[in-house]
Amino acid sequence: MEYYKQHSKFLVAVDCVVFGYENGELKVLLYPRAFEPVKGEWSLMGGFIREGESSDEAACRVLKQTTGLDNIFLEQVSTFSAADREPFVRVISVAHYALIRIDRYKKNNAEKFGAKWWGINEIPPLIFDHNSMITQSLKKLQLKAGSSLVGSELLPSKFTLLQLRKLYEAIYQRAFDPGNFRKKMLSLGVLEKLDYKNSTESKKGAYYYRVKANKAVTELERIVKY
């Protein structure tokens, strides 16, 4: 124990980049910081890791408090540990990103904290290194989306390939060729075609799809439960 006493002690926090999707646009949930320093400036949702908690458990707790949701897709992004990242006190933060459906989260919870959804291209200046956290989180989301079906958590339980493509275009911030995108998504083997259509997208209508049941179980293994 004497050995440990020789070393400095730091605060350890979590910060959550909460991505949502609405009207063809990827958004991030931000709130005005409730305490000094930089009180009132825009910030990611976050908090300090408590005794007996892992960083993942702390992130889940923060998300539950601010969105009212659990079983959220959640993944660690990186650890931010620059000595001068916060003034006055040394804080090391473990950044996570989360995906939620905007129509499912509890608005009352978020509004209690003054939280607001911002378009990915409209994000205001944030405290400390939080803008960098968003940038790295988006890059990690894009990397994962390139090799697997990512982001279906942001869509209804059934969706058309057009709706899925619009989501991916929002994630990558660029357009995709419809034919190539269709081939790519179907080649993953995770989508199940349903026997009814969305009649609003074209005269012929577009078939609905959903994530296959066995694949959904696999996807849930990536979700940190609290």
- pLDDT of the residue at 215: 60
pLDDT at residue number 226: 29
The domains of the chain are located at 2-145, 152-220
Total-model pTM = 0.88
Fold assignment, 152-220 = Arc Repressor Mutant, subunit A (1.10.10)
The predicted structure's pLDDT at residue 207: 93
Output the pLDDT for position 216: 52
**Measured distance CA(150)–CA(154) in Å, rounded:** 9
For 205, left (φ over 0), alpha (ψ -120 to 50), or beta?
left
Quick one: which of 74, 97, 69 has its CA closest to 221?
Answer: 74
Task: Report the alpha-carbon distance of residue 205 to residue 114 in Å, rounded.
Answer: 41
Q: What is the pLDDT along the chain (226 residues), one digit of tens a residue?
A: 788 888 988 999 999 999 999 989 999 999 999 999 999 999 999 999 999 999 999 999 999 998 888 888 899 999 999 999 999 899 999 999 999 888 877 777 777 889 999 999 999 999 999 999 999 999 999 998 877 777 777 888 899 999 999 999 999 999 999 999 999 999 988 899 999 898 887 778 899 999 887 665 454 434 333 2
CATH code at 2-145: 3.90.79.10
Residue 112 main-chain phi, psi, to 5 deg = -60, -30
Q: What DSSP line would sit under the chain, residue for residue?
A: -HHHHTS---EEEEEEEEEEEETTEEEEEEEE--SSSSTTSEE-EEEEPPTT--HHHHHHHHHHHHHS--S-EEEEEEEE--TTSSSSS-EEEEEEEEE--TTTS-HHHHHHTT-EEEETTSPPP-STTHHHHHHHHHHHHHHHHTTS---GGGS-SSEEHHHHHHHHHHHHTS---HHHHHHHHHHTT-EEEEEEEETTSSSS-EEEEEE-HHHHHHHHTTBPP-
